[in-house]
Amino acid sequence: MNLSHGYGRTPSPEDAERLLRAALDAGVALFDTAALYGFGANEELVGRVLGPRRDDVVLASKCGLAGVDGRRVLDGRPETIVRTCDAALARLGTDVIDVYYLHRLDRAVPVEESVGALAGLVTAGKVRAVGLSEVSATTLRRAHAVHPVAALQNEYSLWSRNPELGTLEATRELGVALVAFSPLARGLLTADPPRPSALPERDIRRSMPRFDAANYPGNLALAHALDALAREAGVTLAQLALAWVLSRGEHVLAVPGTRSVEHLHENLATLAAPVPERVLAAAGRILNAGTVRGPRYGAATREEIDTESYDDAG
């Protein structure tokens, strides 16, 4: 996403392509995009780079959120899903998408209808597997009863524990991969955490309460404590954060985003740098749902999110 959308200034097409090629050369085999990202530009970027090596990767994209006449539109109607898929196939330069996610639940459309459309795309040979994003365990079960769900992509990290309220267990029970997005806490859990006052005007973190003046200093202090713990363990803060996510279950995957080839290799090195269980446990005690400051989204965005929430749980 951050190559085309959401995080302020985007890199040049040349730099974005260089990063994706470096990921391919490093053995990365899962690439995750969406119709929303750059309002189609990200799918075009991914298609250009992955085209010659399409058979080497698992290609995932998303529907249900898209740019329409310059506006972000949530639309889970079956006819829209089919139309979005056809456009995505053209932009990606492929005849099949390996995993196609419903990006958000459209509360005006029963999830059974949206998933029914995705199932139809599987039957038509345009999609290999169905996924969901930002939904609860209850919605996952309803969808899974219509058509097998291969993957659920929800935010999961040391500071976003919502899956522990239901979807972590539900995915394990149903044999669904839990794909953790923003596993590095939107840049907080890295060697160069963001400075909210310096974020570009269109950066999505400007609207997130955890980055506002009342909450961010406390969250940054927790990140500093985690950084000290990581150094003691001989890993970087990002590697500690990724190792924690990957420790949550055999079915849990992480999709960290980056614009830096250096950070790409740092992230991948997590797999070769085992972190002791005691360190992972200590990290979980430092940053968790009880210690983080602020909800993960503002009130307007929370209205369209179906996942379980600690804000609702109290």
Q: What is the 3-state secondary structure (H, E, C) of the chain?
A: CCCCCCCCCCCCHHHHHHHHHHHHHCCCCEEECCCCHHHHHHHHHHHHHHHHHHHHCEEEEEECEEEECCEEEECCCHHHHHHHHHHHHHHHCCCCEEEEEECCCCCCCCHHHHHHHHHHHHHCCCEEEEEEECCCHHHHHHHHHHCCEEEEEEECECCECHHHHCHHHHHHHHCCEEEEECCCHHHCCCCCCCCHHHCCCCCHHHHCHHHCCCCHHHHHHHHHHHHHHHHHHCCCHHHHHHHHHHCCCCCEEEECCCCCHHHHHHHHHHHHCCCCHHHHHHHHHHCCCCCCCCCCCCHHHHCCCCCCCHHHHC
Known catalytic membership, residue 37: yes
Catalytic residue chosen out of the listed positions 37, 100, 156, 216: 37
Task: List active site positions.
Answer: 37
